[in-house]
Amino acid sequence: MECEFPTVNSNKEEIKEIFDSVKTIAVLGLSPDESKASHRVAKYLKEVGYKIVPVYPKEDEILGEKVYRSLKEIPFGIDMVDIFRKPAAFDAIADACIERGDVKVFWGQQGLVNNAAAEKAEKAGMKVVQNHCSMVEHRALF
């Protein structure tokens, strides 16, 4: 597996602005398993006041929220996608975000980088964060 260094990334000031402005976060790959990072991060973000929208291939409800199978299925606005999927999936996710037209932030979790997808998202007007944990960043800033 080839690891990428993020060449497209927001700085700390931009990350603070992201948390101040977003309200609804679609968590792609939100596992129902409480021991998984995606579950712990989403639970934290929900506890600090963000609306969490689980996107997962199974389950009907996670963290008390309706589960959607894809970004396309979500019938209301999404401010940010928080991605817990392999970097190879980022291109299709960027395309789905662009198609929706309402996603403002494309966030790849700790250890996840796909610069081509990040550039595509940035060119479409989204702020991009890669290789950062949204929970760790939020805790450090607030």
The CATH number of the domain holding residue 105 is 3.40.50.720
Pairing of strands 80-83, 65-66: unpaired
Residue 95 lies in a domain: yes
Torsional class of 129: left (φ above 0), alpha (ψ -120 to 50), beta (otherwise):
beta
Residue 87 lies in a domain: yes
Q: Which residue has the tokens 């990334």?
A: 9
Give the structural domain span for 123: 12-141
> What confidence tens digit (pLDDT) does each residue in 54-97 have?
999 999 999 999 999 999 999 999 999 999 999 999 999 999 99
Q: pTM here? A: 0.95
> What confidence tens digit (pLDDT) does each residue in 10-50 have?
899 999 999 999 999 999 999 999 999 999 999 999 999 99
> What confidence tens digit (pLDDT) does each residue in 123-132 have?
999 999 999 9
CB 106 within 8 A of CB 18: no
Residue 4 lies in a domain: no
Residue 126 lies in a domain: yes
State the total domains in the chain.
1
Residue 101 lies in a domain: yes
